Amino acid sequence: MILGIEHLGIAIADSAKAIDTFEKILGTRKTKTESVASEKVNTHFFPAGESQIELLESTDPEGVISKYIAKRGQGIHHIALKTDNILAEVERLLALGFEFINPVPKEGADNKLIVFLHPRCTEGVLIELCQDKSDV
């Protein structure tokens, strides 16, 4: 079952500037920075009510975030939806005809298992499903 928005992922080019901007907007400091080598990103998390904002900074000029910024500029990269059973949600959505970029969950930031739905079947929005690894 989808439980709500876990976080909004925002592609950024300059982490110092973006962190400063979001600390001012949200009136709080980032709670965590984490490197995800498999995705070639550093992530910076901020609390936002019951959700989070995740700033995505590329660590490789050939990484997905660098390519995204080169093509579309900085901005919202994805919406992450929290689920209580990522495997059941993948199965349910595949049965409904949705296409996944990675239908097998992989490790993401913030102790999560993640999968991404392809934007061509989600009205152009990259959707991430995530579940806390401790809940699996």
> pLDDT digit string (tens) for 16-71?
999 999 999 999 999 999 999 999 999 999 999 999 999 999 999 999 999 999 99
84-112, pLDDT tens digit by residue?
Answer: 999 999 999 999 999 999 999 999 999 99
b/e burial code for range 77-109 (CB count within 10 A of at least 16 → b): bbbbbbbeebeebbeebeeeebebeeeebeebb
Tens of pLDDT, residue by residue over 115-133, are 999 999 999 999 999 999 9
Domain chopping of the chain, boundaries: 2-135
pLDDT at 136 over 90: no
**In this structure, what token pair is assigned to residue 38?**
């498999």
| H runs (alpha helix) in the chain | 15-26, 64-72, 86-95
**Domain 2-135 in this protein, CATH class:** alpha beta
